[in-house]
Amino acid sequence: MFKLVVIGTSLGGLSALKLLLAELPADFPAAIAVVQHRHRDSEDMMSSFLRPYIALPIKEVVDKDDLLPGTVYVAPSDYHLLVEADYFTLSTDEPVSYARPSIDVLFESAADVYGEFVIGVILTGANQDGAKGLAAIKAQGGSTIVQEPSTAESATMPEAAIATAVVDWILPLSDIAPHLTNLCQPVWK
């Protein structure tokens, strides 16, 4: 069963995330980690913006936060977010392809630690971050979803992901949350 969903997005991501996360039920069983490129001074505006729309608890990650099911974790601005077996770590290493947080960094660490139990999702964005990370997730046996580029505010990031990685599902934005819910449903249900 999937334990972790990692989501990466950039330009247009906030409204896409709002739509996607709002569709996830309160009993969604996997943890969700999100990298959204944004200005380094934007502090924890993002989680407070999203909180009213979604059923799951959401928080900006503090170093060594436990990774709990049914919780949305947002990469803080100006830090890379990485996962360990049961907690998160942060890093202030150099930006990767001009980005910190970097989607590739999160996805590659999720692939290493969670292997087949992770789902990678790439949404709208105006650069190529995340394409390599998504390929890493696939290579370690995980599953991959990309937003159908024509439904994305900026198609560059989804197109780069499709060109670089083996993508299991290319879906319009509105179909992604129901699909994640199906994929993550406990087998005994």
Q: Please give the positions annotated as active site.
A: 10, 37, 129
Enclosing H/E stretch for 36: strand 31-36
Q: Which is nearer to other proteins, 61 or 161 (CB)?
A: 61
Using CB under 8 A, which residues numbered 36 to 95 contact other proteins? 43, 60-64, 76, 79, 89-92
Q: Cβ distance 11 to 126 under 8 Å?
A: yes
- Residue 112 binds other proteins, judged by CB under 8 A: no
**Between residues 74 and 173, which has the closer beta carbon with respect to other proteins?**
74
Judged on CB neighbours under 10 Å (0-12, 13-18, 19+), 179 is middle
Q: How far is the CB of 1 from other proteins (least distance, A)?
A: 27
Residues in the chain: 189
- Closest residue by Cα to residue 81 from 141, 128, 31, 34: 34
Structure tokens at 54: 């979604």
Which residues ranging from 141 to 160 are in contact with other proteins (CB under 8 A)? none
Query: Shortest approach of other proteins to residue 128 CB, angstroms?
Result: 26
Tell the smallest beta-carbon distance from residue 76 to other proteins (Å): 5
Q: How far apart are CA 83 and CA 116, in angstroms?
A: 15
Residue ranges binding other proteins (CB under 8 A): 43, 60-64, 76, 79, 89-92
